[in-house]
Structure 1
Amino acid sequence: MKASVKNLKNETVGEIELDESVFGLPVRADLLSRMVNYQLAKRRAGTHKTKGVSEISGTGKKPYRQKGTGRARQGSLRSPQFRGGAVIFGPVVRSHAHDLTKKVRKLALKTALSAKLADGKLVVLDQASVETHKTKALAAQFKTLGLNSALIIDGSNPDESFMRASRNIPLVDVLPEQGANVYDILRRDTLVLTRNAVEQLEARLK
């Protein structure tokens, strides 16, 4: 399948052949959902914590005798029914990450790329480079291209001036090819790939 290649002035400067095994897959919402859950779970800090009975400071003495008081038997004031006592089955410090096979992760990334192309939300740029690092000039070019919310993926070494110029533009992210991921692709409206990014993604995902 072919796609037109544009420059930052929104002029068509050529065509590129997109590999159907990477950009032409059927869209599977279940696969994308699993991948997003995997990424977000991996990000979670998991530092929430409550104290168990063994961690509460206090005496280990039995509060009152077993029988004859008319009250329920008690063995410790650190029990959960007392104020300042323990929390039963409370959260503990742990990792929320879970496994997802490499094959599924690779397929999910290809599906996300295919979904953007199917929705007409994929733009291929000749190159993502600018002469100046000033944000104003690049913002005007993005407006010409109709980019309000976009993820821009360049080759392995993105242009430093381009990255600095785009840093202050809201809803615009720039990533190198090796940082391409499903969550960032889906959270922005338009996906912008450079020629280099297309070639490197195809080589990596074929």
Structure 2
Amino acid sequence: MELAVKTLDGKAAGKATVDEAVFGLTDIRADLLHRTVRWQLAKRQAGTHKTQSRDEVSVTTKKFIRQKGSGGARHGSRNAPIFVGGAVAHGPRVRSHAHDLPKKVRKLALAHALSAKVKGDALIIIDDAKLDAAKTKELSAKFKGLGVDNALIIAGAEVDDNFAKAARNIPNIDVLPVAGLNVYDILRRKQLVVTKSALEGIGARFEAKAKEGK
């Protein structure tokens, strides 16, 4: 499968061959994408929410009302959940929200996310993502020429420092090295811009995963 390659200035720069098993899927499975996004977001949750239980509330434990004759219920302490300043019943605890997701599912979901961009004409391949100077105005003009306004840009093994500095001031533009490619960031942006070196990295990544699965 061949896809057109452009320069950062919007000029034609030949074609790149990609694996159809990664970029050419036609039946996009939303269930796999949904499961993977949930897995990613669950992993990044801090899980530090916490309320005080009865043994943690600092109030008197003295029996504050007589056992009989008050006409009300029998109470022994002010730290019960029904009282103001008391504990919280069944409140949240510090915990991890992470859950398991098979590697094969994650791998397939990434292929479906990449294929979805190709299918929706939202994948742009550029020869390189480098700038001579970190000038946001210059990079913004180049993006406008490419038709890029809301995109995830995947550079090679490392992101060019000038490119990263110029891009971080542009709204709705994310820049990641190829190692940071993930389903959530692909789906949260309208377009996906990938360099030729990043394509090689993606291919190598799927080959490595294929070997692990054998």
Could you tell me which residue of structure 1 aligns to residue 143 of structure 2? 142
Q: Which runs of 4+ in 1 moved over 4 A?
A: none
Q: TM-score, structure 2 length as denominator? A: 0.92
Gaps of 5+ in 1: none
Q: Deviations over 1:133-157 (max 9, x none)?
A: 1111111111000000011101102
* 2:22 is the counterpart of 1:22: yes
* 2:50 is the counterpart of 1:42: no
Counterpart AA for 2:20: E
Counterpart CA distance in 2 for 1:87 and 1:188 is 40
Could you tell me which residue of structure 2 aligns to residue 84 of structure 1? 85
Counterpart CA distance in 2 for 1:95 and 1:11 is 48
SS at match of 2:55: helix
Counterpart AA for 1:14: G
* Aligned ranges 1:57-206 → 2 under 5 Å: 57-206=58-207
Could you tell me which residue of structure 1 aligns to residue 4 of structure 2? 4
Counterpart CA distance in 1 for 2:82 and 2:5 is 68
Counterpart AA for 1:81: I
> What's the % identity of the aligned pairs?
56
Could you tell me which residue of structure 1 aligns to residue 32 of structure 2? 31
Q: Deviations over 1:44-74 (max 9, x none)?
A: 1222211111111122222233333322111
SS at match of 1:55: coil
Q: TM-score, structure 1 length as denominator? A: 0.95
1:97, CA displacement in angstroms? Answer: 1.5
Aligned residues: 206
Aligned-residue RMSD, C-alpha: 1.3
SS at match of 2:4: strand
Counterpart CA distance in 2 for 1:115 and 1:184 is 13
Could you tell me which residue of structure 2 aligns to residue 13 of structure 1? 13
Counterpart CA distance in 2 for 1:201 and 1:22 is 9
Counterpart AA for 1:27: I
Structure 1 window deviating more from structure 2 (173-182 vs 53-62): it is 53-62
SS at match of 1:197: helix
Q: Deviations over 1:14-45 (max 9, x none)?
A: 01111011112231111111111111111112
